[in-house]
Chains A and B, each alone.
Chain A
């Protein structure tokens, strides 16, 4: 860890001279014996298991209801850093929504040659069924989870835009609950912006995109694939927190092109579905005919505008790993602004010259499958053996178009409790951006931490854990309850 300190930006800074945001935390870390961390960690695990926050890992064979390891040491962002992130996130998500509307209607960005046509129309994530379909307020990705990494004092990069059905927000909320229970004193010392208003912000966002056929209070429901899904806890948690029904496909049916829930008092019309089912499973009459998770006829109702879906169908075209490269250009094209958040340099192996470069430099790159996710099937060059690199090279050669490569980023580290004591571990960050009548971003997000020493893979399916993320309020701000502290950061859609 000493050697790494030079290569990686540590968010706490030097132990003897910590960065301002971490000053109190560093003191606390120095004065707290490791036994206390271990005890609190165990408390947290017992509580998580009792509440039932578990996560199924596919093909694991072990405990089907594993809990994601929770690290009791928080990750901190100061007020200025957060303001910067909020501006960048809002800008980015606005551009992504504009791109989605454009690509399913006028396609100006393709005509202008800014994004290559063949990346779109041939892409499995593009949904031809959405062409010409209008969605309320032209918002496609009501909920976006933007994966970011930090590499320096002012260096933040966007690694991936998740605009299909991003998950993880329940961990943001539950981790905060846990920290407040475990370390009330530490909380009292800091001025931490609350995140508990997220479900309310989500409900407001969803209700604000009800379609033209909705009269009265919009009826929202969360559509889940069911309790065998790995993120089921989150689906039920959010439905519960919003006070709306958690439905499965079989609870819904279509009549007269409206979508109804089967209730003990007969059918009830639904206006907005926060769906946590992938596009392909939504409607067996339109997509995969073997899907038993969806609602037959849903797409016809959606086209007719009698129901709205969050997120929209076909948003995957905007977070495709190849389209990702063009997001900075989208920002200039649609908003006429300079991108605030940076992209990571990305090499698409489909281009022969680029592919040759990638193959030559495999040991220094991270290579991902264009259509992969969850950290599966990727190669982290610096952490791989020669044989692993050679094997992977063969896979790339067999299908160059299926891979992209990026330089290995020096992910920042954060102090993390690792059993023997506190040590730096690599972290990333996923804030959640809500788009409806306006953009809402709750001050916080999900910090994922690679618990293995030196590891850069933070995915929970690959042994990653989570941390609470504290956004500190500016020290000069009054601490009154009516202050900005109690409401999410609102930023108008107008530029």
Chain B
């Protein structure tokens, strides 16, 4: 599937800022299930925007503006050719030891209720026979059944435990809960941020999306998307991974001054009909 992506983020401030710095994880890479045909990031930082690859293998850019300004604009546009791999990402080329993905973070700490929830999946009917991949599919389903998809009840700093307790949240919360429970079950897991194309005739959903990946020894990393009760398909574009949202967030920033912030985000994903060479 050839997907065209436009992702505009616009921050406006009611007082001038002296300084803004943002880490952008807004660049997908060529992977087994996606090929980047065209990709471009434009901002209102004049000139060079340094790029590096972080320890988790994500391409990051640093946007820093140190002259008075009253808005920050980040515009992303590109084309990605995707294919369906049954949700399997594989082993990748990154060098981070898999065991690192068993670490708990503040956002993905499992409390007693989540631990019990996770353990029950294993010990359920014929639980002893469950393979890890089956267990993860079960987990994905169970989260979809338990935690309702609802916008506005959580925010970007809501922890997995908090979202689980209130039994509602968005894709970020679903992914956090999945990651936290999988780690409790001894399965390395990570947070993934990216995009998802929704068929204009099908159900609506977020275009900027997040899901999870779990590490299965024979398969490598396999994606699970509790918000859509499925593993990633060719409608998904995978952008960054991390131990939690903070490690994979598309934009993470800080500023000096500026007063009130007004944030506007527009994401448009459409299917292109031919491949632009």
A interface residues (Cβ-Cβ under 8 A, vs B): 107, 117-118, 121-122, 126, 128-133, 253-257, 267, 284-286, 289, 296-297, 300-301, 303-304
- Whether A254 contacts B64 in the complex (CB less than 8 A), given A131-B96, A300-B23, comes out as yes
Interface centre among B62, B243, B252, B253 (most CB of A within 10 A): B62
* B243:A128 contact, CB within 8 angstroms: yes
Nearest opposing residue in chain A for B157, CB measure: A289
Q: How far is the CB of B64 from chain A (nearest CB, A)?
A: 5
Residue contact B246 to A289, C-beta cutoff 8 Å: yes
Cβ 8 A contact of A256, one of B55, B64, B99, B243 = B64
Known: A132-B95, A253-B19, A257-B50. 18 other contacts (CB 8 A): A107-B97, A117-B99, A121-B97, A122-B102, A122-B103, A131-B95, A133-B55, A253-B21, A254-B21, A255-B64, A257-B52, A267-B66, A285-B253, A285-B254, A289-B246, A300-B60, A301-B62, A303-B52
In angstroms, Cα B66 to Cα A256, docked, is 10
Interface residues of B in 91-110 (CB under 8 A from A): 95-97, 99-100, 102-103
The 5 closest A-B pairs by CB, nearest first: A257-B50, A121-B99, A131-B55, A296-B254, A297-B21
Hey, which chain A residues are within 8 Å of B55, CB to CB? 128-133, 303
* A303 in contact with B54 (CB, 8 Å): yes
Query: What count of chain B residues pass the 8 Å CB interface test?
Result: 26
The contact string, 1 if C-beta is below 8 Å from chain A, for chain B 47-65, is: 0101010111000101010
231-275 of chain B: CB within 8 A of chain A: 243, 246, 252-254
B253 neighbours in A (Cβ, 8 Å): 285, 296
**How far is it, in angstroms, between the C-alpha of A304 and the C-alpha of B100 when the chains are bound?**
22
Q: Are A256 and B103 within 8 A (Cβ)?
A: no
Q: Flag if B52 contacts A304 (CB, 8 Å).
A: yes
Known: A254-B64, A257-B62. A285 touches B21 (CB 8 A): yes
B102 touches A300 (CB 8 A): no
Please state if A128 and B60 are interface contacts (CB–CB under 8 Å): no
Q: Which residues of A contact B100 (CB under 8 A)?
A: 121, 126, 128, 131
How far is B102's CA from A122's CA once the two chains are assembled, in angstroms? Answer: 7
The docked-state distance in angstroms from the alpha carbon of A286 to that of B66 is 20
CB distance from B85 to the nearest CB of A (A): 26
CA distance A255 to B46 in the complex (A): 11
Asked if A285 and B252 make an inter-chain contact with CB atoms under 8 angstroms apart, the answer reads: yes
Contact B103 A297, beta carbon cutoff 8 Å: no
A285 contacts which of B23, B52, B102 (Cβ < 8 Å)?
B23
Chain B residues with CB below 8 A from A300, complex form: 23, 50, 52, 60, 62
Of B54, B62, B157, which is within 8 A of A129 by CB? B54
CA distance A297 to B55 in the complex (A): 15
Q: Are B243 and A254 in contact (CB under 8 A)?
A: no
With the chains together, A129 CA to B48 CA distance in Å? 24
Q: What separation, in Å, do the CA atoms of A267 and B64 have in the docked complex?
A: 14
9 example contacts (A-B, Cβ-Cβ < 8 A) are as follows A117-B97, A122-B99, A126-B100, A128-B55, A131-B97, A253-B64, A253-B66, A256-B50, A296-B254
B188 to chain A, nearest CB (A): 10
With a CB–CB cut-off of 8 A, which chain B residues contact A122?
A: 99, 102-103
CB <8 Å contact, A128 and B96: yes
CA distance in complex: A410, B256 (Å)? 55
Roughly how many angstroms separate A35 CA and B73 CA in the complex, as a whole number?
74
Contacts of B50 in A (CB 8 A): 256-257, 300, 304
CA distance A164 to B19 in the complex (A): 31
Using CB atoms, name the residue of chain B closest to A267: B66
Bound form: Cα–Cα A289–B246 in Å: 9
Q: Which residue of A lies closest to B48 (CB)?
A: A256
Bound Cα distance A390, B102 (Å): 34
Chain A residues with CB under 8 Å of B243's CB are 128
Q: For B252, what are the chain A residues with a Cβ–Cβ distance below 8 Å?
A: 285
- Within 8 Å CB of A132, what residues of B? 55, 95
Residues of B within 8 A of A121 (CB): 97, 99-100, 102-103
Contact A297 B246 (CB under 8 A): no
Partner of B23, one of A118, A128, A253, A297: A297
**Bound-state Cα–Cα, A132 to B66, Å:** 30
Minimum CB–CB distance from B156 to chain A (whole Å) comes to 10
For A267, list chain B residues within 8 Å (CB). 66
Across the interface, which residues of B come within 8 angstroms of A257, CB to CB? 50, 52, 62
| Min distance, Cβ B265 to any Cβ of chain A, angstroms | 19
**Minimum C-beta distance from A100 to chain B (A):** 15
Instruction: Please give the distance in Å from B2's CB to the nearest CB on chain A.
Output: 32
Measured between alpha carbons, how far is A255 from B66 in the docked complex, in Å? 7
Judging by beta carbons under 8 Å apart, are A128 and B103 in contact? yes
CB of A188 to closest CB in B, whole Å: 56
Complex Cα–Cα for A33 and B89 (A):
80
- Tell me the bound Cα distance from A129 to B99 in angstroms: 14
The interface centre, meaning the residue of A129, A133, A297, A301 with most chain B CB atoms within 10 A of its CB, is: A297
User: From A124, which residue of chain B is reached at the shortest CB distance?
Assistant: B103
Give Cα A257–Cα B48 distance, bound, in whole angstroms: 10
Chain B residues, CB < 8 A from A285: 21, 23, 252-254
Bound complex: CA A133 to CA B64 (Å)? 22
CB within 8 Å of A: which B32-76 residues: 48, 50, 52, 54-56, 60, 62, 64, 66
A297 CA to B60 CA in the complex, in Å? Answer: 11
Q: In the complex the two chains form, what is the Cα distance from A118 to B102 in whole Å?
A: 10
CB distance from A98 to the nearest CB of B (A): 18
Q: Whole-angstrom distance between the alpha carbons of A133 and B52 in the complex?
A: 11
Q: Which residues of B contact A128 (CB under 8 A)?
A: 55-56, 96, 100, 103, 243
- Chain B residues with CB below 8 A from A301, complex form: 62
Closest chain B residue to A129 by CB distance? B55
| Residues of B close to A304: CB separation below 8 A | 50, 52
Residue of B nearest to A306 (CB): B50
CA–CA, A297 and B56, complex, Å: 17
Chain B residues in 8 Å Cβ range of A131: 55, 95-97, 100
State the Cβ distance, B120 to closest chain A Cβ, in Å. 24
| A residues in contact with B64, CB < 8 Å | 253-256, 297
